[in-house]
Amino acid sequence: MIKVSLLDMIKEIGTAGIIIIALIIFVFILALITNFITILRYKSIANCFDSKKQTKAGIFNNELLNSIVQEYKLAAKNSLSEVNTQAIIEKSFNENMKPMAIAESFVKRSPAILVILGLFGTFWGLTVSVTKLIEIITSNIINDAAVNMNQLLESLSGTASGMGVAFATSLFGIGFNIILTVVFIV
């Protein structure tokens, strides 16, 4: 039975595979951190409504909510008709929460990005393997009638590193996608 460690696999996949796997890990960590920060930001807004003292006074520990209250008061003071509260809230959210909207968009798309990076690595690795295989087929090793089997096997082993990139990056991409999806559900 052949034992292959993770370190052995990483050595075999080469620089391109390591870069793609590093990108997958980077996107995974960035998505986790972004999701955590987004949740904390929304919870801080929600917590302001739990405080009776803040809601009665109309003064919150949150700039967004305070700007909404100030705009509402200004509109009520200057308006003879009804105040469009929904428009004030939407305008304030669009102005003040734009980074959060971008963060949410990234978090929603990050599982797909992980799979795409894994597939990119797959195609990269398969391309490398096929290229090396074509080089072997067109080389003198195959054409030589007295081909040494060891030389042939040694030449073919180079194609294995490309396949290693292909499958390792796919496994990393899909694996981190599964973990991220479970984390987002919980």
pTM, two decimal places: 0.77
The owner of tokens 């075999």 is: 12
pLDDT band at 30 (very low <50, low <70, confident <90, very high): very high
Distances (CA, A) of 186 to 10, 45, 83, 180, 182: 31, 21, 39, 10, 6
> What is the model's pLDDT at position 63?
85
The residue ranges of every structural domain in the chain are 6-57+100-185
Q: What is the DSSP letter of 61?
A: S
List pLDDT tens digits, range 118-157.
999 999 888 888 888 887 777 765 556 556 667 767 767 6
Q: Which residue, 104, 99, 115, is CA-closest to 27?
A: 115
